[in-house]
Amino acid sequence: MFQQLKNIDSAFKHIRSFSFLLIIGCIALCCYTVYKSYQVVQATQAKVYILANGKAIEAFSSERKDNIPVEARDHVRMFHYYFFTLHPDDKVIQSNIKTALYLADATAQTQYDNLRENSYYANIISGNISQAITIDSIRVNINQYPFYWRCYATEKIIRSTSIVTRDLITEGYLRTVSRSDNNPHGFLIERWNTIQNKDLKVETR
């Protein structure tokens, strides 16, 4: 009888040890599963898919500081494009100028007012003149804030009898603001100044 009790006690100890090991294994497996799931979720959240022309393109999220030079240059490029791209149509001019003024402070508004008072836009409409700009390069210094920038560009003023090519150099500073539909990069141009705007050549049409 004592032998049977010893066998029962031994079997109970084995079952208890096995149960402990099973419980520990289950806990370890659950912890590992949760950890790997967390890693997968983190990796998934770091990816963004953009639909372009019916194709999904993978993009990766990053901190804004990593994209400041790219976004700053594009902000300056957009401002110059809308401010200097003009056609002999009052609605086109007003639309482009309105878009540009959302991207800059009062210095751009002052420049626009001066050009309007000098009948610059009226002359473009009456003379059927088109103006286009090509950005050659934009340099942004992100080591100081507000970010100093300088833009090198070429203007073309197309008249019915001639094409004037101008060398344009401007400078200013960028301050961060809230993003919006009117200001997708979240920058504002301050102290905008034209350093140079001189004729390079005149071509007869």
**134 and 173 assigned to the same domain:** yes
- Model confidence over 135-184: pLDDT tens digits? 999 999 989 899 999 999 999 999 989 999 999 999 999 999 999 999 99
93: CATH: 3.10.450.230
In a domain, 54, yes or no: no
**101 and 175 assigned to the same domain:** yes
**118 and 162 assigned to the same domain:** yes
**31 and 96 assigned to the same domain:** no
Q: What is the pLDDT along the chain (205 residues), one digit of tens a residue?
A: 545 545 666 666 777 777 778 888 888 888 888 888 777 777 666 666 666 556 656 655 555 566 788 999 999 999 999 999 999 999 999 999 999 999 999 999 999 999 999 999 999 999 999 999 999 999 999 898 999 999 999 999 999 899 999 999 999 999 999 999 999 999 999 999 999 999 989 988 7
Number of domains forming the structure of the chain: 2
Domain of residue 17 covers 2-48
In a domain, 42, yes or no: yes
As a whole number of angstroms, the distance between CA 139 and CA 17 comes to: 70
In a domain, 37, yes or no: yes
